[in-house]
Amino acid sequence: GSLWCVVPAAGRGTRVGGHCPKQYLPLAGRPLIEHTLERLAAHPQIAGLLVTLGADDAHWPGIAELNGKPVLTAAGGAERSDSVLAGIDALPAAVGQNDFVLVHDAARPCVRLDDISRLIERGSARDGGLLGAPLRDTLKRADAAGCSARTEPRDQRWRAFTPQMFRRGQLAAALRKAAGDGRAVSDEAMAMELAGYAPLLVEGAEDNIKVTTATDFPLAAYLLSRTVT
Ligand code: CTP
Ligand code: MG
């Protein structure tokens, strides 16, 4: 198949605040990103990985192949959406404009292979979709003093995860349009929404955390150890 996964890995990890970007910090004894890439390469439907790196990245371990699948790199950009678009543009020509492309954060090493399978199966029946989960907690609107001004409805509110999966041409056009309109988009689905699509929400396991702060490392190590892929 020609289902490729773009892996944005050009962030600095400022909220972790480590001596290097979080994707290269040790998780269960190995750089975090290696767990993420190995999981993706282990998925039978993923044909190759395209990793976008920071321009001054001195930590990339130079992986060229995993599980017999090509691992390509490209330069990322200032924002996550820039990195994703650069990755899509750098995909091999064999990935057609109507082919689906996955996008998965380097910072989400605990993604489950069965969730990826469900996203591929359900999303490819439409114009794509994303993994996510309904909100679990009561949601508060804070005022300027940090007090709870009111309680927001929780129904129909979802947290968005990755992978997200869209058609190569449609996603590239949506990301270009958002950038041209000066609209910051925090994920691929937001760019697609602004372009008039309604991406399918596919419920995935809460294991799929985005490692964001230093305390997420032991949690991710635990989740990795127990995840049945
Ligand atoms: N990312 C990227 N290019 C950017 C910013 C982020 O490729 N310009 C990637 C990160 O490397 C990460 C994913 O997008 O894999 C999600 O971003 P986030 O969790 O915000 O990571 P960082 O931006 O590195 O962290 P922080 O915001 O704390 O600096
Ligand atoms: Mg960031």
- Write down the domain spans for the chain: 4-132+160-226
Q: Which of 7, 160, 24 is nearest to 86 (CA)?
A: 7
Q: Is the ipTM of this complex over 0.85?
A: yes
- Give the residue from 193, 165, 162 showing the smallest Cα distance to 177: 193
Q: Is the CB of 36 under 6 A from ligand 1?
A: no
97-126 burial, b if ≥16 CB within 10 A, otherwise e? eebbbbbbbbbbbbbbbebbebbbeebbee
Spatial CB neighbours of 97, under 8 Å, sequence gap ≥ 6: 167, 168, 169
Q: Is the CB of 107 under 6 A from ligand 1?
A: yes
Rounded CA gap, 40 and 107, in Å?
13
Ligand 1 and 114: CB distance under 6 A: no
Nearest CA residue ID for atom 19, ligand 1? 212
pLDDT at position 119 is 98
Q: What is the pLDDT of residue 165?
A: 98
User: Which CATH class, in words, describes the domain spanning 4-132+160-226?
Assistant: alpha beta
Question: How many angstroms separate the CA atoms of 161 and 208, rounded?
Answer: 7
Q: For position 229, what pLDDT does the model report?
A: 60
pTM of the predicted model as reported, rounded to 2 decimal places = 0.97
CA of 68 to the centre of ligand 1 (A): 27
Tokens for 57, please give them. Answer: 């990245």
pLDDT of the chain, 229 residues: tens digit per residue: 589 999 999 999 999 999 999 999 999 999 999 999 999 999 999 999 999 999 999 999 999 999 999 999 999 999 999 999 999 999 999 999 999 999 999 999 999 999 999 999 999 999 999 999 999 999 999 999 999 999 999 999 999 999 999 999 999 999 999 999 999 999 999 999 999 999 999 999 999 999 999 999 999 999 999 876 6
Cα(201) to centroid(ligand 1), Å = 22
